[in-house]
Amino acid sequence: MSLGIRPSRPDDLPIAAGIRSRVFPYEISAVEAFSWRAERTPEQARFRMFVAELGGRVVGYSTAMLTWDSTRRDQGQIVVMVDPDHRRAGVGGALADAAEDHLRTAGATVLQGGGPISEADGFARRRGYERASTSRHQELDLTGLPTLPPVPAGVELRPMADYADDPRIPHTLDEAVSADEPSDIPIDAMPYDTWLDLCWHEPRLDHDLSVVFLVDGRPAGIVALQSDRRTRLVSAMTGTLREYRGRGFAKYAKAVALHRARERGFRLAYTANDETNAPMLAINTWLGYRHHTTEAHYALVL
């Protein structure tokens, strides 16, 4: 069968989401999230998506975009996904070629990509990428949650849904705690209107399960959860403002959020942390998360 690479069409998105779910079972790969992201990514990102066809069937996809929200505007991000049943047939290489060529034309001088070490390491290194960092993906059976810890003094939890009419407080918290997240690329503060469109309205963000926690009436941190609205959760962010760290607030808030999710019928929760993020890894270990997959992040200087 001949292999063909072409730009994606809207009717390719359900297939692409299905492929991603097979490769990354610890994510929520909703079709709505695929189309929503493609439609809303800022034009300066030069976002493109390509698919691979074998015998008229889509068996993989790649995406390419410039890192538009960083001071390093020369950074390109590449994603390559191939259906596990069609690997080692040149599909991944052809998809990567298309994405890399687009980013070269767009002006990128460094390319960033990642994936499970067991699957991505050899592929990335053969193409000249070097490992930059690693992250730990973990899974939690919510039936095994520990008993809630004592309520820290002065803490109040509010569902993010309480801020639906004016989400500026979640925006301020998200921007502050995200700036301290370990990252291979420096990330700029996101303008409120852009954050509103790309983060607050993300189809998977569950405003009812996500929480803002206050200390003595002042916003101190957030627990943001994505869900499939049925049984599965993914942690999008857990963070505390610097002046409130080290006092157990994030541990308590995330534990409460997960207990509430279990009460509403959710069964599995996933999270990911950079291997250097010791405080959050400790919280997740206490909550009962178990290692699922280690991902590596790679960089290629063009």
Residue 274: its pLDDT value, please? 94
The structure tokens 């997240």 sit at 181
Cα separation of 153 and 216, whole Å?
Answer: 8
Cα separation of 283 and 245, whole Å?
Answer: 13
CA angle, residues 157, 189, 35, in degrees to nearest 5:
80
- pLDDT greater than 80 at residue 189: no
- pLDDT greater than 90 at residue 40: no
pLDDT above 90 as % of the chain: 81
Cα separation of 261 and 118, whole Å?
Answer: 32
Q: What average pLDDT does range 293-298 have in this prediction?
A: 96
- pLDDT greater than 70 at residue 150: yes
Q: What SS3 class is residue 13?
A: helix
Residue 186: its pLDDT value, please? 66
Cα separation of 170 and 184, whole Å?
Answer: 24
Q: Rounded mean pLDDT of the chain?
A: 93
What radius of gyration, in Å, describes the C-alpha atoms of the chain? 20
- pLDDT category at 112 given cuts 50, 70, 90 is very high
**pLDDT tens digit sequence for 48-81:** 999 999 988 999 999 999 988 777 778 999 999 9
